[in-house]
Amino acid sequence: MTCHPTRNPFTHSETAAVGVAVEGLSKSFGHFEVLKNVTFSVKPGEIFVLMGPSGSGKSVLLKHIVGLERPTAGRVTVDGRDAAAESTREQVRMALVFQSGALFNSLSVYDNLALYPREHRIANEAAIREKVMRALQILSLEGTANKAPSELSGGMKKRVAIARGLVMEPQLMLYDEPTSELDPVMSATIAEIIATLKEEYHVTSIVVSHDRELALGIADRVGILMGGELVSLGTPAELRTPRDPRVAEFLNPKIDLKHPRFKKLET
Ligand SMILES: Nc1ncnc2c1ncn2[C@@H]1O[C@H](COP(=O)(O)OP(=O)(O)OP(=O)(O)O)[C@@H](O)[C@H]1O
Ligand SMILES: [Mg+2]
């Protein structure tokens, strides 16, 4: 299932963009149904942004795509292969930038980034060093190589997590809230990185974000998840005039300080 052979940013080796298909995906934890019959597909080389209120199931959905969760019903495929199968992770290079960063605190920033290429014996130390330093430079993190993640700010940790994903030279990159905790300039840099990976290297990207500007600015298509259901699927242009009132309210919330829930705050 191949498409668009291209070169990756670090080694210039041939690689191919991959597609993702989510078909009738439902997921329950005990009696709690978190995802309800979700269906959509992401084309090779596409930027797909997933939005939705807190708790709507976005992170759980991403975890299914990288095989960290298994469906209760339905299925997820990456490049036509079952996402839940161990062999898929060996055959398709995918990187998930976790919402929390998920860095190893006992390792320096440098060693966090070098871990994957070392474990997979992708390159020798000199070549790994080049890739790691390049990724740190792209994210303006040159000075942090020898620091522990615990010594960094929240936004710096987020960027280290993205840099670690880049070093993996993914065909499929998934980001969970990549711009939360970042200032507007750094958020724009992240948007540029995601767009560049698409344009120049044909990386497929799935981005979970509350950042409306990011979504409307870089997405090819946007999906909106509410209460575990995919309630909207369309282009950014279509989202500017949403038909579903729930989607309109989510994207353009009104601030109402007279709402009864603020009563208790009044002195
Ligand atoms: N392993 C788990 N066991 C039980 N419930 C879980 C588990 N993981 C997630 N949930 C529940 O599933 C729901 C969706 O969680 P999820 O993390 O996907 O939300 P989200 O859309 O990513 O929210 P946010 O925008 O706050 O990150 C939540 O109610 C959460 O408590
Ligand atoms: Mg989440």
Whether 12 shows a pLDDT value over 50: the answer reads: no
Whether residues 126 and 16 fall in one domain: no
| Residue having the nearest C-alpha atom to atom 4 of ligand 1 | 29
Whether residues 259 and 185 fall in one domain: yes
Which bound ligand lies closest to the C-alpha atom of 58? 1
| Residue having the nearest C-alpha atom to atom 1 of ligand 1 | 29
Taking each helix axis from N to C end, the angle separating 109-119 and 125-138, rounded to the nearest 10 degrees, works out to 130
161 CA from centroid of ligand 1 (Å): 20
Residue 127 in any domain: the answer is yes
Residue 98 in any domain: the answer is no
Whether residues 84 and 143 fall in one domain: no
68-106 tens-digit pLDDT: 999 999 999 999 999 999 999 888 989 888 877 688 989
Last residue of a domain, one of 115, 150, 168: 168
133 CA from centroid of ligand 1 (Å): 34
Q: How confident is the model at residue 11 (pLDDT cuts 50, 70, 90)?
A: very low
24-33, 66-75, 115-124: least confident range:
115-124
Residue 162 in any domain: the answer is yes
Whether residues 78 and 133 fall in one domain: no
Mean pLDDT of all residues belonging to the chain: 87
In contact, 25 and 76? CB cutoff 8 Å? yes
Whether residues 163 and 175 fall in one domain: no
Choosing from 58, 65, 100 the residue with most ligand 1 atoms within 8 A of its CB, the one to mutate for a pocket test is: 58
How far apart (Å, rounded) are the C-alpha atoms in residues 69 and 136?
30
Confidence (pLDDT) at 146: 94
Whether residues 182 and 197 fall in one domain: yes
60 CA from centroid of ligand 1 (Å): 6
Confidence (pLDDT) at 265: 67
Q: Which atom of ligand 1 lies at the shortest distance from residue 228's CA? A: 14
Provide the residue range defining the domain that includes 36. 5-93+171-265
Whether 251 shows a pLDDT value over 90: the answer reads: no
Number of structural domains (the chain) is 2
Q: In this predicted model, which residue has the larger pLDDT, 56 or 251?
A: 56
Whether residues 191 and 248 fall in one domain: yes
Q: Which atom of ligand 1 lies at the shortest distance from residue 56's CA? A: 21
Confidence (pLDDT) at 252: 81
Choosing from 27, 59, 99 the residue with most ligand 1 atoms within 8 A of its CB, the one to mutate for a pocket test is: 59
Confidence (pLDDT) at 266: 63
Q: How confident is the model at residue 179 (pLDDT cuts 50, 70, 90)?
A: confident
For residue 84, the domain's CATH number is 3.40.50.300
Whether residues 157 and 137 fall in one domain: yes
How far apart (Å, rounded) are the C-alpha atoms in residues 193 and 46?
14
176 CA from centroid of ligand 2 (Å): 7
180 CA from centroid of ligand 2 (Å): 11
Residues with CB under 6 A from ligand 1: 29, 34, 52, 54-60, 99
In contact, 208 and 50? CB cutoff 8 Å? yes
Confidence (pLDDT) at 6: 47
Q: What is the pTM of this model?
A: 0.86
